[in-house]
Amino acid sequence: MSVLVVAEHLRGELRPVTLELVSAARELEGPVAVAAIANDPTHLADQLNVEGVDEILAVRVAPDEFENDVYQQAVEALIEQRAPDVVLTAFTVNSMGYAPALAAKLGLGFASDVFSLRNEDGALVAERSFYGAKVNAELEFPGKERVLLMLRPTAWPPAEGAGSATVTEVEVPLNGSRARHLDFHEVEAADVDITTADFLLSVGRGIGDKENLAQFEELADSMGATLSVSRPLVDAGWMPNARQVGQSGKTVQPKVYLALGISGAVQHLAGMKTSGTIIAVNSDPEAAIFNVAHYGAVADLFEVAEELEKLF
């Protein structure tokens, strides 16, 4: 099966996920071409010349940095010119901006967050999970002559070893770009790392108001815990993203996870369900958090907090 890998780069450096895509591409047992879409693609070509890459397609475009619509047009043109059986992109915020749209436009088979794939007698089989990682499923793409997959970063080892790829300069027609990358803004360093804490006191929307947060910050301090939160508190701007537990936040595995006023949505559970001991306090006896909690109290969280304040 012939494969087209779309390289990702940032500030002139190849992103490590690109070499992971190359490892995945090699498993499909066919020629592997890697597209370097950049203002200076030849600079990237050196970094892309690893074992397993047969051809590097150097596509020169005006912007230095990633732009959704530039990539969408360039990859579409490459698919038309090269007709690969499989297109591999990374499951990253960049590729999410154009790859699903391109798959829909061209009627390609499509799957995101894929962590395993294989060529089964000429048919592509990809694996991904569903329902907040409760179920893994194998996907086939019957009737699709071409498939675009977005692969989960870190699921494959990076390809290594010197390669002997040929470099081909490819022209693609581009109709301008609706967006322009202007600048980078560095994310402020996180004040704490909740992923390494042994004891997390985690609060959710049940605390009601921003004003109540201070009480739980103090409680966490006196208990020797680190404060973490569910997503609504981050969305509301009450706490920085670095404190968020869950699918779109951090995955944590403390020895003790004490959840106050958190309902236990699958996206939250995805980030904490493997904690050592989970203790949940919720006024709703049906709250889903109790399904994963080792100890639970159907109680008002403020009353529990008051009792804890007396103890610590």
Give the residues lining the site for ligand FAD (CB under 6 A): 204-206, 230-232, 244-249, 261-263, 265, 267-268, 271, 281-284, 287, 300-302
Structure-token pair, residue 76: 């579409």
Residue 183, strand partner residues = none
Q: Which two tokens stand for residue 151?
A: 């692969």
Write out the two tokens for 173: 């027609």
Instruction: Tell which residue, 28, 31, 38, 53, has the closest CA to residue 8.
Output: 38
Smallest gap, in angstroms, from Cβ of residue 300 to ligand FAD? 5
Name the residue among 197, 229, 232 with its Cα closest to residue 216.
229
Residue in the shown chain whose Cβ atom is closest to ligand FAD: 246
CB of 202 to ligand FAD, least distance (A): 9
Tell me whether residue 39 or residue 291 sits nearer to ligand FAD (CB atom).
291
What's the count of helices (H) and strands (E) in the chain, helices before strands? 9, 17
For the CB of residue 268, give the shortest distance to ligand FAD in the complex, in Å.
4
Shortest Cβ 244–ligand FAD spacing (Å)? 6
Q: Which residues contact 82 (CB under 8 A, 6 or more apart)?
A: 2, 4, 33, 57
- Closest CB 255 distance from ligand FAD, rounded Å: 20
Decide whether 70 or 262 has the Cβ nearer to ligand FAD: 262
Contact 25/56 with Cβ under 8 angstroms?
no
Cα separation of 159 and 209, whole Å? 49
Report the residue number, 172 or 200, with the smaller CB distance to ligand FAD: 200
Q: How far is the CB of 267 from ligand FAD (least distance, A)?
A: 3
Nearer to ligand FAD, 103 or 301 (CB): 301
Between 52 and 249, name the residue whose CB sits nearer to ligand FAD. 249
The distance of closest approach from Cβ of residue 270 to ligand FAD in the complex, given in angstroms and rounded to an integer, is: 7
**Minimum distance, C-beta of residue 87 to ligand FAD, in the bound complex (Å):** 25
Nearer to ligand FAD, 42 or 248 (CB): 248
Closer to ligand FAD by Cβ: residue 37 or 272: 272
Of 280, 275, 305, nearest to 295 by C-alpha is: 280
Closer by beta carbon to ligand FAD, 52 or else 296: 296
CA distance 112 to 248: 16
* Cα–Cα distance measured from residue 98 to residue 91, given in angstroms and rounded to the nearest whole number: 11
Q: What radius of gyration do the chain's Cα atoms show?
A: 24
- For the chain, the straight-line distance linking the first and the last C-alpha, in angstroms and rounded, comes to 63
